Structures are given as C-alpha cells and as structure tokens.
Amino acid sequence: MGIATASTDPWLSPAAEVAQALGADLHDGLDATEVRARQARIGTNEITAERPVPGWRRFLDQFRDPVVYLLLAAIAISLVAWLAEGAGGVPVDALVIAAIVMLNAVIGFAQQARAAQAVEALRRMSATTATVVRAGEQVRVPTRDLVPGDLVVLAEGDTVPADARLISAAALTVSEAALTGESEPVLKDPATLPRAAALGDRLNMVFNGTAVARGVGRAVVTATGMRTEMGQVADLLHATREEPTPLQREIARVGRMLGVAVVVIAVVVVVAVVVVIGVDSVTDVVNAMLLAVSLAVAAVPEGLPTILSVVLALGVQRMAAHQAIVKRLSSVETLGAASVICSDKTGTLTRGEMTISRIVTALGEVEVTGAGYEPTGALLQDGRPVAAGEPTRSAAEQVLAAGCLANDARLVEAAGQWTVQGDPTEAAFLVAEAKLGLAAGRQARYRRVGEIPFSSERRLMTSLHADAHRDGAIAVATKGAPDVLLDRCAHVQVGPDLHRVDRAWRERILADVDRLSGQGLRTLAVAHQRLASADLPALEDVETDLVYLGMVGISDPPRSEAVQAVAEAQRAGVRVVMITGDHPRTAARVARDLGIVEAGSRAVSGAELDALDDAAFARTVRQCNAYARVTPRHKLLIVDALQAAGHVVAMTGDGVNDAPALRSADIGVAMGSGTEVTKEAAAMILADDDFATIVRAVREGRGIFQNIRRFLRYLLSSNMGEVLTVLLGVLMAGALGLAPSDGEVVLPLLATQILWINLLTDSAPALAIGVDPVAGDVMDRPPRRRTDRVIDARMWRGVLLLGAVMAVATLAALDLNLPGGLLAGGGTPDEARTAAFTVLVLAQLFNAFTARSETASAFHRPFSNHWLWAAVLLSAALQVAVVHLPVLNHAFSTVPLSGPQWVGCVALASSVLWVGELRKLLLRHGRPGPARA
C-alpha cells in the first residue's frame, strides 16, 4: 500500500486518489487487523519527547562558567598553599570561595527548576480520544492508536487528532491560530486545490492539535505522530538549541581574561621576588608561592557570580510584579540589549477578538467604536455621534439586527469579563448590537423557527423567525459573502424605500467590498425579507428575492496599549517586526494601525520569501517590518537572518507555530494565554498578554545592564588596587622602607588582610551598586550592539587608573608611617601596615560612589541609593572594629590608630573620588551627551 506517498501534497489530489494511495476505505474505514499491521510498521500517533535533563545535571550545569572555573582553581591553589604551610587551622580562603561558588549554583538552579519541556507540552496538547470509522462502525479510540488511512469523524468542539484530508464537510470551520497564526476560524472545503498553497491556505486539510469551531466533517488520516505538521514543529524544537545570552558570552570572556591575568600576575610576582630578594631555600620558594596565591585570589572578584545572580534575581522579582515571569536569570538582561522585537499578531499585538468596526449601507458608512468583546462603544459618522432616529443609524441597526438573527453564537459575562461561545465572527454582531442597546428587544420579539446552516458550497447562512410584533409572520435573515449574497437579492434598502439591484448598485456595493478588503477588513453582507404568511415556506425558496441591507467590516483590533508600546520601543531604538500567518492585507492594516510600517507599506508573504535567494532574503529582512502567511520555518529563518545581521532578537508569540522561533531567538517571550508549548519554549512569559509589558521589561533589562557595568567597574578597579598595592609594594620594598627580615619578604599587606578587604568591599557595597535606581533617560538611548562589550576599552582604562590611584594612596600611607623610604615617617611596621590596610578599605568605599557612573558626577543624586549608603557605613564601621578591637587586632595583625592617623587615612583614600571626578569631567567635556552608566 502506498502509505509512504500519502503525505506528498494530498491537498493537490482528489480525496478518492488520496484514499487509494493510503489503502483506505472511505465508507467502512480500516479493520482491526490492518490497523495493528500499520501500527507495527509506522508506530503510534504521538509526538516524540526529548529525554528530560536530570536535576543533578542541571545543578552541575551551574558550574559551567569561566569565572566559576577561575574560583575553583583559586580554591585548589589555596588548599595547596594551606597544606604547604602545614595544614594548621582552617583553610579560610578556600572555604569562603567555595561557599560563594555553591551559593551561586543554588541561586541559578532554583531559578531554573522549571526547565523547558516544550516537546512534552506538545504531546499533552493532542486529543486523548478521537471518533473514527472502523470496519463500518463509528467508535471512539485513543488518539495514539490512529494510523494513516483511518477515517476520522469531526464535530464541533473536537480537537483534530492527526493531519487528514477532508472527504466531506458541512459548515466546518477550524481554529488554526495555534498552528498557523490565522486570527479567525478557517472555513474548510473538501475540493481539490488547483495549485500549491501555504499551510494556512490548505482548505481541504485539517491538522493535528487544531480545534473544530463549528460544523461537521469526515477526513482520511494522511500523517500521524512526528509526520504531522505538529510533529515537524517538534522536530524544529529538537534541532533548535538555546544559545548563550549576550551577557553569558561577555561574562565568559571576562572570566577568560581574568584567568590569563591571574596567571601573568602570579608569574610576575614570583619572578619579582626572586630578582629582588633571591631564593636561598625551600622556605623562600614556599613564601614566594604563597604571595603569588594571595595575589591571584585578590585579583579574582569572588563575589562576581553571586552578585550577578542576585542582581538578576532581584530584576526577576521586579518584573514578576509587572506580570512578566522570567525562567532564565540571564534573559532579564538580554531584553535590555534587544534591538529587534519580532511579534506574532493574533492575541499579542491584537486582542484576538473579532470586532465589527465598519457598517456600510446605502445611506453611507458608519464607524463602531470599542474593541473586543466588551459591549462598550458608539456609532460615529465622520467623527460625530449618530443620534437615535437618524436614517444612517436606523439602517446600521437593521444590518446588526439581521446579522444577530442569523447567528448561533452567544455573548457571556462572568465576573466582569466578557467572552463568547461559538464562532467569533458571529459573536461580533452580538457585541455590536449590545453596544447600541438593541439585544433585549430582539430577543423578546423574535423566535427562531427554522434555519439553513452555513456551508462552504453556499457561503451563506439563513435563519427564519416568528415575529411577535407581526402576529407570528416570518422574518428571514441571511448573511454571507457579499458577492454570493448579492446574487440572491432583488432589492436594496435605501432608508424606507426599496431600489432594484441594477448594475450601478451592484458595482457600488462591490466597490465597497474592495475598499474595506483593501483596509484589511473581513466583509460580511446582510439581507432580509418578510414573508406575508406565518406558514413556513419551502426552505429552497427562502434565499430568493432578498432585500440587501448592507455589509460590515470585521477586524481583530490592535491592543490600545500595544500602540503606545510600539511607539516607546521605536523611540528607544528598538525595531518592532510583526510576523503572522494571517492574510497579507490584514497584516498590513494592523501593522499600519500600530505604527510598525508606514502608510502604503505592505506585508511580505511567505510565498514571496520562498522565491528569494539568500542575498535578497537578507536584504528583505533588513528592510521589511511586516510578514504574512508565514510558516514556522519562515519565522526561524527571519530570526536567524536578523541575528546574522548583528541584532539581538526578542521573539513573542502564543501559538505552537511560534515555539521554534522563540527557542532560536536571543529571548523568547510567550503570552500567558498561549499554548503550553510556547510557554515552555520561551525564556519569559507575559502573564497579562500585554505587549507593553515587553517594553517595561526592556527598560528593566537596560537598567540591569547599567548596574552590571557599575558593579563590574567597582569590583575590577578595587581588585586592581589590591593587586597593584602588593605587586608595587614588593617591587619597591626598599624604596618604601620595607626591608627584608631574615631573608623573608615583608609584604605591604598580609594574606588575612587581603581576604578581609575582599569580604568587606566585594559583598555589600557591590550588591548595593547592583540595585542602583535606573536612570531616567535609559529609554532615550539606542540599544547596544551585539558586538558592544560589557567592559569596553574606556572602562578598562578607568579600572586601571583608579586601581593605580588606590595603590599609590595605600603605599603612600605605608611610607608615611615607616622610617626611611621616600617619605619621612616614624611609626612601627604594624602601624604602617594597619594604616595602609585602612586606606585601601576606605579607598574602595569611596570608589563605590565613583563607580555608579562612568561620566556622571558622584555628587549627582548622591542619596538616591539608600542601600549603598547603608553598605558603606556598615563596612566602615567593621573596619573601625578591626582596627580598634583587641580580639580583631590579633586576628588581622592590626594596631589602633590615632585621630590624626585616621584623618590622614581618609584624606588619602578620598583621592580615588577626586581623581574619578576629574576623569569624568574630562570625559564629559570631550564627549558631550547623556551620562553613561
């Protein structure tokens, strides 16, 4: 049997030929023996799930970071040094660094506890049972048991269990938004298509995971499991791997640079000790190695991974308060770097609620205000309200009344929320009628006594009603495609008069259809007639000699907040691109309404993209901001092309068709009302479905990036100060008065003092800088480029300058308190080292204020960060305790300082602030513009 060929464009072949290729019986279906044989040969109708990553592996993944590797190496070196010293006491350095590494891993693991399970969610979406014909009997079977060739029976409310070719259909409409992005249910037709068509235009096919909105039909299964369109989406998810975020890549680069720097520093120090002092014994070698280890540990910002995780986690909490749920910490910052937001249309930029916005009658056109299903709005003509009793309002009311009679939908209110049951297009009439306050009168007056249901062949629906105001006389209401309905109409309603439908009227009405369609509106025409007798006529005679009332233009309106959000994103230099499976005219209209494209622009279709070569495709993606009738593959290609052009891409969506592109984008953003597949594939979920939340998240991300730069500037310059202090202190030991004692190196700072400085200044102040308030102009700047560094050349120059100032100030304090040297002094070595130790701590605390901005003065909004002041005051108090408490004097080899010595220490330490202010002044003078973080 030709099962293998069944999935080859079955929409281009007659249903009988498709069934023959499948070995299917269109009357009796398959028998049990054949089903078992095919299941053995083809497999079950299930989406193959990826094996979930065990928890222990996800925890170990938290250690896969260059900075963490560096800290692990520091732990190993510290333990070796501790053992070389005789393993006395507790290896404090190693334990502290290990605790920091473990804390960072726990924070990351906790945030990622709900890891992506996109393919499993795909599998859960499938219907659990389906109605099929087996051996001539209609039965319900588990969906997983379906095979190609099965005869499926579809009815309203069913989930389509597999891809299938329609054999018959009666008013069958299928909601395919989750798969194709089409905003309204698609009317299905079993007729063979004349030519190749995009997924959303294959009207004689139904697809796995979509939902029957209305009508009934039969179809022969052409593909199951991974061979379905849903399965192909799963394949794309399998093949699409999450790439490291820009922040992750940059921190990895910084980690590698620090690793090289640590090795170089250690080598330079050992060589310097050997050259300056010489090595005469094993003890000298051990001392030199211990010095190198101390410097290496000082050079590594141990708090960097943890502070980074905490700052990102705090950002996650703030975004959660704005209904944005972030699944990966690094994704918060990525949104701040976004230069392009690719958004689905239906339900994301639009409300996903069909709305009548225009009513056109023979007396003119009126606008219906209000969007969505909430029945709040008004009737306007040329911008002014249309009063009750005006001819144009009466004509519009007639259109809505007839449209509501030929209607099977319901408008429901629950807890203040309005929803619809039934076809969304039919519901649009009910909402518009409720806006004008007409519903109660219609329901009391008319009672349905018959109907001719909608069918794909007729493209019309007619209902018959007994009119209580006319002694039960029959009122006929018909709605449908304008060109079809017009052929059934003999007259046009013009106010109280009837005009014959002549050539002029026909051309005028069809011109109105073209005009509304050109605006991206779906058109439906409405007609009626009143029968003189209360006796029901033959139904085949009802849809003749109708009176044409008018037509409506229906749209899926843009979210009002999305219009403002798009404008704000563009003001911030973020390009908004709309990608949808909807019709090109509809897509272009929505894009224009939202301000995504200019007037006169059009949407590029998926078919047009397929016709482009690589160069033309890349050129189109650089220029086009609206795409229509695209497939999941097109979305992936568009995202990849934007990334190849250097953009950081955020992709939003709510349907299964969006999931692969969400996974591939730098950050995928799912709507809270979307499918589980989309939520699991995304890095962030908008619980309120509000596109404006994305813009708030961009602002939050940019603020977080600013703060990351701030605390990196602080940590690196402070650690640079420690490294240069020890390195220059060893190289200039003689000039400073640090004479060797018994052939051993006399260090400007002890290892315990270096560790204390790291614990004191690399924790609370750095974390406080990480929560600095976001600058007010953060959204007035363009997004940073993908190639921009978190730590650029200018920041490195500042780090080196301030580190050098700290070292000079610290060594000056040392020299001022030692006899001999460059500066005269009379203190003891312990006093000199305590003064130097204190100057370095205070210099780093002054540096905390300098590091808040690269160009803005530290005296600009100095008290806006209360956490920073608290951290600095706490650290200063702890340093005073280390200097003056006897128990801490013994632990850290310090001695109390006098009042004048403290004044001198503060003065020397403040040099960091004044040099930083001078540098910022020069930068502002040289490059005017907004202050940089």
- Say which of 344, 408, 512, 690 is annotated catalytic: 344
- Sequential DSSP letters for 20-84: HHHT--TTT-B-HHHHHHHHHHH--S-PPPPPPPPHHHHHHGGG-SHHHHHHHHHHHHHHHHHHH
Q: Do the Cβ atoms of 258 and 70 come closer than 8 Å?
A: yes
- Sequential DSSP letters for 101-156: HHHHHHHHHHHTSS---HHHHHHHHS-SEEEEEETTEEEEEEGGG--TT-EEEEET
- Sequential DSSP letters for 543-560: SSSEEEEEEEEEE-PBPH
Phi, psi dihedral angles at 420 (to 5 degrees): -125, 155
Phi, psi dihedral angles at 897 (to 5 degrees): -110, 150
What CA–CA distance (Å, rounded) separates 367 from 123?
44
**If DSSP states are collapsed to H, E and C, what string results for 330-370?**
HHHHHHHHCCEEEECHHHHHECCCCEEEEEEECCEEEEECC
State how far Cα 333 lies from the chain centre. 12
What CA–CA distance (Å, rounded) separates 208 from 179?
9
Burial 435-445 (b: 16+ CB within 10 A, else e): bbeebeebeeb
The SS3 call for residue 447 is strand
Question: What interhelical angle do 691-731 and 246-276 show, nearest 10?
Answer: 0
Beta bridge partners of 489: 546
DSSP state of 741: B
Find all residues with CB under 8 Å of 122, minimum gap 6, and list them.
47, 49, 209, 230, 233, 234, 237, 656, 659, 677
**344 has catalytic annotation:** yes
What CA–CA distance (Å, rounded) separates 872 from 99?
23
Q: How far is CA 575 from CA 562, 598, 624, 627, 694, in A?
A: 14, 13, 11, 14, 13
The SS3 call for residue 301 is coil
DSSP state of 5: G
Angle at the Cα of 619 from the Cα atoms of 618 and 624, rounded to 5 degrees = 100
Give the position of tokens 């209904």. 323
Q: Do the Cβ atoms of 897 and 882 come closer than 8 Å?
A: no
Give the position of tokens 């649009």. 428
Report how many helices (DSSP H) and strands (DSSP E) the chain contains, helices first: 34, 28
What CA–CA distance (Å, rounded) separates 29 from 477?
40
What CA–CA distance (Å, rounded) separates 364 from 69?
74
Sign of the dihedral through C-alpha 480, 485, 490, 491: positive
- Sequential DSSP letters for 152-198: EEEETTPBP-SEEEEEEEEEEEEE-HHHH--SSPEEP--SPPSS---
Q: How far is CA 705 from CA 300, 571, 614, 776, in A?
A: 21, 19, 34, 14
What CA–CA distance (Å, rounded) separates 122 from 142?
17
* Catalytic sites, residue numbers: 344
